[in-house]
Structure 1
Amino acid sequence: MKLTITYAILIITLSVTAQTGTIKGRVIDQQSGLPIPGVTIELLNQEAAKGVITNQNGYYTLDEVPLGRQAIRFSFLGYETITNGNIVVTTGKDARANAQLIEAFGQLDEVVLTSSRRKDRPINKLATVSARQFGVEEVQRFSGGRGDVGRLAANFAGVSAPDDSRNDIVVRGNSPTGLLWRLEGIPIPSPNHFATAGTTGGPVSALNPNMLENSDFFTSAFPAEYGNAIGGVFDLGFRKGNKDDYEYTVQAGAFTGLEAIAEGPVGKKNGSFLIAGRYSLIGLIGAGAGTAATPNYSDVSFNLDFGDRKLGNFSIFGIIGNSDIEFLGEDIDEDDLFAAEDENAFVNSGFAVFGLRHQIGIGKSSYVRTILSYANSSDEFEADRFINFDTPEERTIRYTEVDNAENRIALSTMFNSKLSNKATLRTGVVFERFNSEQLSRDREEQPDLNGDGDPDLTTFINIDESLSIIQPYVQGQFRLSEKLTLNAGLHSQYSDLNEQFVLEPRAGLSYKFNNTHKISIGYGLHHQLVPLPILFLNETVNGTVQQTNADLDFTRSSHYVLGYDVDMGKGWRAKLEAYYQDIDNAGVEPFPSSYSTLTEGADFGFSNDRVSLVNEGTGFNQGVEFTLEKFFSDGYYGLLTTSIFESKYEGSDSVERNSPFNNGYVANLLAGKEFKIGKVKKNTFFVDTRLTIAGGRYETPVDLQASQDAGFEVLQEDLAFSEQIDDYMRWDVKFGFQFNSAKKKTTHRFYVDLQNVTNNDNVFQRRYNRLTNEINQVDQIGFFPDVGYRFTF
């Protein structure tokens, strides 16, 4: 041990003439989650070899690091050595590189294995299959991403999102409503601007990627600590601010808007603050949003960390977001994605989450983490319809009113213990208390019972209801040998709305043939509550208004996964994964019908006339996915993902149909290259590109004659989701420069992101136009150049 420390201190630092930067971070034990003092960190640069060791709290700072992408190695006696080979060092901001070391399986007097830090492997080490991590650099780097973590995930295998208007995530053929969002360990509502109640996506993300730490994304059979979801999980974490120096960033982009970020130290206990605010710019540009209306949105995010104290580590985090837009009929044309010419519509939405997080070590191998949070999401929609539009008899009536608000209090507590270098135990509970206030009134498809000549303004939902969900769990990792690892656990879920209790076993087994080949299998049973807008629909029974869907049980889903992973060397890896998902207990109508709750989430809102549902619907998703990835090294990266899948469901008529999410296939090709420029090669020119192709979505055909007779769109529900729209194709190209100052701690970054460079006409939908009495095709957003500038100091 003394030799290791002495070696680290005596590493020779070679002098360089170019401006340098700093790498800092923290090293923890992967199993116990506690810091490791004395870890050696070496800079693997032949021209500027350097080394430091972590302090008693696991922190380290590596100064005078040459600019550009660098590699560092973490080593400690008795632990497996790892290498992080993709750290971007600039003058304007300190680079962060945290590490989790795992204790060697065998003898403790030597390091038995050296490996690389793999960005594809999840941070949560209790995940075996269908999981990967992503970082802020990827969100900002990929072309066409708009700084949106949802759109980033669309590049991963098993994910389909061929819709430019929203960042809804279709995971392996599941509805976007099957996705769970978590922030700092607690479930949160949809973190998007212009989101609607019950959905998990939106047109613009309220998550600022500059706030995020490396995070996890799961597409199937996720570990036992995650519940109330059957599709996938976004497990996000906020990074901490710089605990040593004050740093600032200002930037502007067409989609991300105007932004300012500040961070720096707080107190003398390694505390820090991080705060970021954004305001939309796209309304000023007036293009690329799919509408002529002006969207306004803003958000503020923060993370205040109070450092390492005797009572543990406390932090306060949060997001506040607001958005609004006015669709005025006189400004709308027939190709608008969101509005109509004979209507004035007004949209307001809000999103907020506040949390208090506490973590304290217990002994030398355990910790308890507790998070208490409050979250609110709201959306209001009002529409005034012009009757006898564009005639002398034109008049205006209130046609639609929606006012939804959800308040959520959540408490999560988890105990994690490293039992030995071969076993880890994690147990905890998540409690959520929902209060849902919903009002939905509409004249669409309603009779004129009061004889005033207009369809009646009918109330579909008018509730102020509360419910609680409790989710205890226990899980563990067992390293049965150096090659064989078992992750297993049990999740349970209880809802006091219908007093339903379920148990969900989860298990994953991985076997390493050697350092380059690994096979994995996984199983998970998952349940999810029916979306609240469906659960609380009104139905008049014997003259009394009732919520006849409130007794619906959880939808149930069994996941089966088989994966094969190959490390091809020199930064290349390949992965093949096959899966099958069996779904039952979905809500369907009590008479023969094509409807199922599994089809909800394909639009901006939910059905308002599906009542007295029963849990007799079924469905399945199956597919094969392939990933070929070149991690960023030698100045370039590449990613090829291909998914071939099938998504089917059955309503109460027992007819097997395509789900609206059954694209059939999705393929993504991404690549990027950096070129060092300037006399001392401290600046960078970069270019990135992305090509996406996917099968078209399935739609229910419009009954034109019935629609013309009724004056509103009537679908042929006996032919539900029988027509497939054209395939989707989009090519994006991004390029720019990064300049590091030679004298000051500043960095400038410029980019131009050419989205849909071929101006391909991807179909948005085919819908009945009540003004022309025709079925019109509406296309998605065409070519749009996004530009941005970032200044860090």
Structure 2
Amino acid sequence: MLCIIGWFIAFSTSAQVTQTLRGRVVDKESKYPLAGATVVVGEQTTFGTQTDPDGQYRLPQVPVGRYRVRITLVGYKEVLLNNIILDAGRETILDVDLEERVTDLSEVSVRARRSGEAANEMAVVSARQFSVEETDRYAGSRGEPARMASNFAGVQGADDSRNDIVIRGNSPAGVLWRLEGVTIPNPNHFAIAGTSGGPVSIINNKYLANSDFFTGAFPAEFANSIAGAFDLKLRNGNNQKHEFMAQFGFLGTEAMAEGPLSRQSGASYLASVRYANLWLFSRAGIDIGTQAVPTYLDGFFRLNFPTKNGGSLSLWGVGGSSTIDILISEQQADDRNIFGSNDRDQYYTSHMAATGATYQQPLSQSTYFRATLAYTTNIQDANHDYLFLRKDTQGRPVVENERYVVEAKVPILDYQFNEDKISLATSLNHKFGPRSTLKVGLNADLVHFRAFDSTRTFIDAASTQLGPWRQRWDANQAFVQLQPYAQWKYFLTDRLTLNVGLSSFLSTLNKNSFSPVEPRGGLIYDLPNRQKLTFATGLHSQAMPTYLYFYHHPYITPANRTEGTSAQAGLIKSWHWVTGYSRLLGQNMRLLLEAYYQRLFDVPVEARAGSSFSILNSGSAFSRVFPDRLVNEGVGRNYGLELTLEKFFSQGYSFLVTTSVFDSKYRATDGLWRNTDFNGRYAFNALLSKEFVVRQRSRFNVGAKFTAIGGRWYGPVDEVASRQQQEIIYQDAGRNTQQFAPYRRFDLKTEYKINRAGLTHTIAVDFVNVLGIQNQLSLSYAPQPDGTFIKQEYQLGFLPVFYYRVDF
């Protein structure tokens, strides 16, 4: 690799390389094009222009590099954007929304909108906009939105094998994923029912536009979530120039193309594809967590057709397929498999797809309409074969030639879950003037859920005989979800802004899945010296994962299987209260403090008296849950304090420091307050990025990240039940009385970017867990030759994630 870098340096020249910066400026609420806005790039050597009647601007021949962009227009708040990158291989298209000022600038000093502030006009607190550049810049993020978000205050990951995120102590299952306004299934390869994360994201940051991430008290348009939300936006392809990208790296081989369908109309296309090549790195001896090699494929397309007055019609689609076969019968006895159990062969496949059409149109200078119609599907298919191993006289598995001796393979599990959905999301924004904006909308889903699952277990813990097949799922049902909402933003004074909203959520799954009124509200108070106070509160609700409504517990007889044991469970409810203080420290630094309290109620717990089970602990692993009948009698509480200190990129470097201290507890039918699985109690992240300019046209970046998080909670193992079920079953009474050691990880990232005329080469290596710290992950069911079966699993060790990319 050093030879490759040296070759590129040797053939670079000192001639100046330039690129075009262009885009569109529109009103934030009405999306109407704004003419006459001034766009200035740079601080010392500046380039500037103004937008045309269609809101378009163009700055050609800007030298490649990083810039600060300032957008101003009389009657609107100034926008300051840091860290805008211009590379030779790709035009930079920067679309900007401007927010109208309430008063003239001469009457009051109005703060500028800056990098990182949420694009959603109704967001008050606990919201942040993230860019594609951020997902690439942060060490350890692997180019994924979820891993990138784990660096923010109040958010923790702490699982190297998955990108689940825990927001303020809530289960990852409480995270909502939206794309172009519609809710999508878990957008990860190897997804498991009831989870929102996975090992590798299907979503590729290269086709995302700037998107919003919410960690609490979010606006009324977001429903069916109690923890947080990703509101992902898709970018359009370049409508003036054909551009291409090719990339080879640890996470796959990728290709992308974009360009104009018609330069006259401005129509464009964008398409990408990625295929995994982990087999190559597994053979090279790099630890990927398992000897079984995962395979996956994902792709994306978007066709955009402009309409009059800045509107557009877009056709888009994203999807992925993944497969892994963990064949213990063909592996060595001591092979590592953090994704499976060593008493069976496992075959697993998952598919996810979302495709739709988005129409958006400014109806006037004060009214904007948007609608998305989409179809999504999510499929998981698994089969397990139990391995009867040859045993010695003491009942221990025999190992010959470093392999277990398999006497027989017997099928013990077969399941397929399939959830198809047709979704409609509509919204109408109307601005009554600079002081008042109303947004109303409707989100509707028609869901078709099909599930089949049969399994066999041992007759008892001491038996070696498998019992008969038992059906746990047999479902084929359609239902509707509806969520109307209204939001109103009003400037009470020049400095005080009120946001109020109402939402409602209905699922026809059962009569208890209806939340008629969910009020949301917030205040923003702008103080002198670039300070701000915020407060927001709201009632939120969420349905359980669909598969849980149709689960048949063993005591349900075949004659009584018209509905699952938890078919009548209602919605989880949650009140959020969040207050915040922020201050700009100089031109490019921000301090943010937030305190929050979350009260959870109507939480599904087991109806069985004395049970410690709560749905709040599910959704973070490669497994489903199999509870007794669930009823809405549980409660929970989360509270904490968060600090963020961020320096936006300037003078060649940036940094982000986040600290969270919190407590997360729940109470089930046993009446005891317990730690949730995710009550780490603290989370700390420190990130630094430094850039060095090489020969004017090239840049070398070094990034570092240190993470420290409190360990997950667990309890004593019920050995009798675990042997019978062939998986780890914890003792009910001791649930979450023990804690894993704290999680620590140090990451480094290096990136070298070489710009030549019309071409950009990028070579990057993300050194994950560069110190090789051995962090605890979980306990797994893994029968050993010595007769034991409880195995401590550990996170991934040192993992170099690299790629080479060329843009042209």
TM-score, normalised via structure 1 length: 0.94
Mapped pair 1:749 → 2:749: no
- 1:285 is paired with a residue of what secondary structure? helix
Amino acid at match of 1:426: K
Q: Which residue of 2 aligns with 1:70?
A: 67
Q: Which residue of 1 aligns with 2:169?
A: 173
Mapped pair 1:660 → 2:682: no
Mapped pair 1:428 → 2:445: no
> Cα deviation per residue 1:123-151 (whole Å; 9 max; x = unaligned)?
10201011101011111111111111110
Mapped pair 1:396 → 2:427: no
Contact 1:553–1:615, Cα closer than 8 Å, also in 2: yes
| Displacement after TM superposition at 1:686 (Å) | 0.9
> Cα deviation per residue 1:446-485 (whole Å; 9 max; x = unaligned)?
6599x99313332111111111110000001111122111
Contact 2:347–2:382, Cα closer than 8 Å, also in 1: yes
Judged with a 3 Å threshold, the aligned counterparts in structure 2 of structure 1 residues 56 and 729 are, in CA distance, closer, same or farther, namely: same
> Cα deviation per residue 1:237-275 (whole Å; 9 max; x = unaligned)?
1111111111111111202x1111111112222221111
Contact 1:378–1:404, Cα closer than 8 Å, also in 2: yes
Q: Distance in 1 between matches of 2:359 and 2:137?
A: 33
Amino acid at match of 1:230: I
Aligned residue among 560, 573, 588 for 1:544: 560
| Displacement after TM superposition at 1:711 (Å) | 6.4
Q: Which residue of 2 aligns with 1:214?
A: 210
Amino acid at match of 1:381: A
Q: Which residue of 1 aligns with 2:534?
A: 520
Mapped pair 1:326 → 2:325: yes
Q: CA RMSD in A?
A: 2.1
Please show how residues 557-572 of structure 1 align to structure 2 within 5 Å: 557-572=574-589
- 2:135 is paired with a residue of what secondary structure? helix
Contact 1:360–1:368, Cα closer than 8 Å, also in 2: yes
Contact 1:331–1:341, Cα closer than 8 Å, also in 2: no
Contact 2:637–2:666, Cα closer than 8 Å, also in 1: yes
Contact 1:489–1:505, Cα closer than 8 Å, also in 2: yes
> Cα deviation per residue 1:279-303 (whole Å; 9 max; x = unaligned)?
1122221134211111111111111
> Cα deviation per residue 1:329-372 (whole Å; 9 max; x = unaligned)?
12264642012333211111101000100012222210110100
Please show how residues 17-166 of structure 1 align to structure 2 within 5 Å: 18-47=16-45, 49-107=46-104, 116-166=112-162
Judged with a 3 Å threshold, the aligned counterparts in structure 2 of structure 1 residues 549 and 252 are, in CA distance, closer, same or farther, namely: same
- 1:569 is paired with a residue of what secondary structure? coil
Percent of residue pairs bearing the same amino acid type: 38
Q: Which residue of 1 aligns with 2:469?
A: 457
Gaps of 5+ in 1: 1-15
Amino acid at match of 1:675: F
| Displacement after TM superposition at 1:708 (Å) | 5.9
Mapped pair 1:376 → 2:377: yes
Q: Distance in 1 between matches of 2:723 and 2:374?
A: 50
| Displacement after TM superposition at 1:725 (Å) | 0.4
Mapped pair 1:670 → 2:687: yes
Contact 1:104–1:113, Cα closer than 8 Å, also in 2: no
Q: Structure 1 residues 386-395 or 759-768, which shifts more?
A: 386-395
Mapped pair 1:600 → 2:600: no
- 1:717 is paired with a residue of what secondary structure? coil
| Displacement after TM superposition at 1:605 (Å) | 2.3
Mapped pair 1:700 → 2:702: no
Judged with a 3 Å threshold, the aligned counterparts in structure 2 of structure 1 residues 59 and 111 are, in CA distance, closer, same or farther, namely: farther
**Which protein, 1 or 2, shows the higher relative CO under an 8 Å CA cutoff with sep ≥ 6?**
2
Contact 1:537–1:548, Cα closer than 8 Å, also in 2: yes
Q: Distance in 2 between matches of 1:642 and 1:71?
A: 28
Judged with a 3 Å threshold, the aligned counterparts in structure 2 of structure 1 residues 305 and 554 are, in CA distance, closer, same or farther, namely: same
Q: Distance in 1 between matches of 2:85 and 2:746?
A: 27
Contact 1:168–1:176, Cα closer than 8 Å, also in 2: yes
Amino acid at match of 1:308: T
Q: Distance in 2 between matches of 1:205 and 1:51?
A: 38
- 1:103 is paired with a residue of what secondary structure? coil
Please show how residues 94-493 of structure 1 align to structure 2 within 5 Å: 94-107=91-104, 116-255=112-251, 257-267=252-262, 268-286=264-282, 287-309=286-308, 312-329=311-328, 330-331=330-331, 333=334, 335-389=336-390, 394-444=407-457, 453-493=465-505
Q: Which residue of 1 aligns with 2:751?
A: 736
| Displacement after TM superposition at 1:85 (Å) | 3.0
Amino acid at match of 1:537: Y
Judged with a 3 Å threshold, the aligned counterparts in structure 2 of structure 1 residues 387 and 488 are, in CA distance, closer, same or farther, namely: same
Aligned residue among 556, 560, 564 for 2:573: 556
Contact 2:445–2:480, Cα closer than 8 Å, also in 1: yes
Q: Distance in 1 between matches of 2:619 and 2:725?
A: 25
Judged with a 3 Å threshold, the aligned counterparts in structure 2 of structure 1 residues 712 and 338 are, in CA distance, closer, same or farther, namely: closer
Q: Distance in 2 between matches of 1:659 and 1:701?
A: 15
Q: Distance in 2 between matches of 1:531 and 1:116?
A: 41
Q: Distance in 2 between matches of 1:97 and 1:121?
A: 16
TM-score, normalised via structure 2 length: 0.92
> Cα deviation per residue 1:46-105 (whole Å; 9 max; x = unaligned)?
33x332221222121111112211122212222222222321111111112221112221
Q: Distance in 2 between matches of 1:462 and 1:22?
A: 57
Gaps of 5+ in 2: 1-13, 391-396, 399-404
Contact 1:32–1:365, Cα closer than 8 Å, also in 2: yes
- 2:141 is paired with a residue of what secondary structure? coil
Q: Which residue of 2 aligns with 1:5?
A: none
The alignment of Structure 1 onto Structure 2 pairs a total of residues equal to 769
Contact 1:670–1:690, Cα closer than 8 Å, also in 2: yes
Q: Which residue of 1 aligns with 2:401?
A: none
Contact 1:334–1:340, Cα closer than 8 Å, also in 2: no
Contact 1:596–1:651, Cα closer than 8 Å, also in 2: yes
